[in-house]
């Protein structure tokens, strides 16, 4: 085996490397630009004949798989060992070289970073402690500083910084180096190239020290334009939202106006409608009827008072067996059976016909008021049938028909019977309250015989 150990110097060395590349050769290379670590020596070997696309590399003391991977321009993970752990000297690494139409050669030290959510070129540059310009120079195909899709490949030069260029048809290393004013030997060294034929169309080469200043400025300008467009789009969208809002406000205002007008017209039509005229007439009739009722009740009360006076005078002269305490009514006039007091404990606060409170001054007091604590039970004074149980003339009231009489229990807080029900004398009807026109909890107890209010006292024991 012919063994040769040298560092390439200038074109002559490149030519020599070229002539040697067909034979088995051991070539020593410095890791590009990394002056802090000791020189590493790799034996770049031609592909073995029995397995195409693969070279076997024998490691020396202290060498890491990562350095081998960088030297051959393959991913560190492709070597199948921990890339950062020193392997024992003499270990043989199997290095798969890319081949086929998709094959591409990356310069040594150029790592592939896969973009994550939210990445920009600037963020990635910061993460690898390099300038945005250096990162842009390594990624000339990027057309934007932003808008990286997740998983997109970004080249990160970890050893030597410069322009990373993909060779196009008709381009070669010498031509590119000359065009960008880069030293071709330095280019060969940084790219670990022994022969110009090692790189071809589609391969990437690093031109050390060259910066893509113009491309960077273009990207910055492009971003500025994009941001300006975005600002304009936002302003336009805001304006359109405002116009739509104003249209909505105007539409709602007109709608409200039309609705108010329509309501007014409906009301006007209703005022002239036969239903409304009929209703008005009905109200008027009711009002006249009620006025008439009140007038008749007053007349009747006056007549009763007159009769009472006359009776009082005559009764003085008569046997008092059939005389009632008030003298208004004889028991014989009622055909409804026995009558008892509707409550056990109470205070008589207003008598029949009295005008003691404001309400009774306006309307003839047709019954007696029995005051008792709120909730005191009220019992049926006579047996009978419930004609009404609910809200009516005397707040929450119960009307019990009994013989030729109607007994009214008013101002209850709660009733205990329902209309149509039959009750016995002494049965619970409800409880004392103060519903309706009322100044304190009491029972308004009224008896009407043949539709005429009479003094209940005359019937009670």
What does the binding site for Zn ion look like in residue numbers (CB under 5 A)? 369, 444
Token duo for residue 368: 């007696």
Tokens 């063994």 correspond to what residue?
3
Query: Which one, 45 or 452, has the nearer CB to Zn ion?
Result: 452
137, 211 contact by CB (below 8 A): yes
Burial 155-173 (b: 16+ CB within 10 A, else e): bbbebbbbbbbebeeebeb
Q: Between residues 190 and 432, which has the closer beta carbon with respect to Zn ion?
A: 432
Which residues, 6 or more positions from 406, have their beta carbon under 8 angstroms from its beta carbon? 387, 399, 400, 447, 448, 451
In the complex, least distance from residue 350 CB atom to Zn ion, rounded to whole angstroms: 6
Q: What is the DSSP string of 269-297?
A: HHHHSHHHHHHHHHHHHHHHHHHHHHHHH
Nearer to Zn ion, 133 or 371 (CB): 371
- Nearer to Zn ion by C-beta: 160 or 326? 326
Enter the tokens of residue 246: 């104003």
As a whole number of angstroms, the distance between CA 146 and CA 163 comes to 20
| CB closer to Zn ion out of 42 and 445 | 445
Q: Shortest gap between Cβ of 375 and Zn ion (angstroms)?
A: 19
CB-wise, 309 or 439, nearer to Zn ion? 439
**Helix (H) or strand (E) run with residue 306 in it:** helix 274-315
Taking the complex as a whole, the smallest distance from the CB of residue 291 to Zn ion amounts, in Å, to: 21
CB 394 to Zn ion: min, Å: 7
Smallest gap from residue 281 Cβ to Zn ion (A): 33
Measure the CA–CA gap between 363 and 66, rounded to whole angstroms.
113
What's the closest the beta carbon of residue 343 comes to Zn ion, in angstroms?
14
Is residue 457 helix, strand or coil?
helix
Q: Which residue has the tokens 């009295």?
A: 354
**Are 21 and 46 a contacting pair, CB within 8 Å?**
yes
Closer of 119 and 369 to Zn ion (Cβ): 369
Output the smallest distance, CB 370 to Zn ion, in A: 9
Q: Which residue's Cβ has the minimum distance to Zn ion?
A: 444
């Amino acid at each position: 085996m012919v063994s040769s150990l040298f560092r390439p110097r200038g074109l002559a060395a490149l030519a020599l490397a070229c002539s040697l590349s067909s034979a088995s050769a051991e070539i020593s290379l410095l890791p590009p630009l990394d002056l802090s670590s000791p020189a590493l020596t790799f034996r770049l070997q031609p592909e073995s004949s029995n397995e195409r696309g693969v070279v076997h590399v024998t490691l020396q003391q202290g060498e890491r798989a990562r350095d081998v991977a960088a030297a051959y321009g393959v991913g560190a993970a492709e070597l199948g060992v921990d890339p950062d752990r020193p392997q024992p000297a003499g270990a043989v690494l199997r290095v798969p070289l890319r081949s086929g139409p998709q094959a591409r050669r990356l310069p040594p030290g150029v790592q592939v970073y896969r973009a994550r959510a939210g990445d920009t070129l600037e963020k990635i540059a910061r993460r690898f402690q390099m300038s945005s310009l250096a990162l842009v120079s390594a990624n000339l195909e990027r057309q934007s500083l932003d808008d990286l899709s997740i998983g997109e490949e970004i080249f990160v030069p970890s050893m030597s910084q410069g322009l990373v260029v993909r060779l196009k048809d008709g381009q070669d290393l010498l031509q590119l180096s000359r065009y960008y004013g880069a030293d071709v030997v330095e280019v060969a060294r940084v790219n670990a190239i022994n022969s110009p034929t090692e790189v071809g169309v589609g391969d990437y080469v690093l031109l050390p020290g060259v910066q893509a200043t113009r491309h960077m400025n273009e990207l910055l300008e492009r971003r500025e334009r994009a941001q300006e467009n975005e600002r304009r789009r936002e302003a336009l969208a805001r304006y359109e939202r405002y116009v739509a809002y104003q249209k909505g406000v105007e539409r709602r205002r007109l709608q409200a106006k039309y609705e108010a007008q329509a309501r007014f017209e409906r009301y006007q039509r209703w005022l002239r409608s036969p239903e409304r005229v009929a209703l008005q007439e009905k109200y008027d009739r009711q009002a006249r009827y009620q006025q008439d009722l009140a007038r008749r009740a007053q007349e009747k009360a006056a007549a009763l008072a007159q009769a009472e006076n006359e009776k009082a005078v005559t009764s003085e002269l008569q046997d008092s067996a059939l005389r009632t305490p008030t003298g208004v009514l004889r028991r014989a006039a009622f055909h409804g059976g026995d009558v008892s007091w509707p409550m056990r404990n109470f205070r008589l606060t207003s008598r029949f016909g009295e005008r003691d409170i404001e309400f009774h001054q306006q309307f003839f007091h047709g019954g007696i008021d029995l005051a008792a604590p709120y909730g005191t039970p009220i019992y049926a004074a006579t047996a009978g049938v419930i004609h009404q149980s609910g809200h009516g003339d005397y707040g929450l009231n119960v009307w019990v028909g009994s013989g030729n009489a109607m007994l009214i229990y008013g101002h209850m807080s709660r009733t205990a019977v329902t209309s149509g029900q039959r009750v016995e004398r002494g049965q619970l009807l409800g409880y004392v309250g103060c519903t309706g026109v009322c100044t304190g909890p009491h029972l308004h107890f009224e008896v009407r015989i043949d539709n005429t209010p009479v003094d209940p006292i005359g019937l009670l024991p």
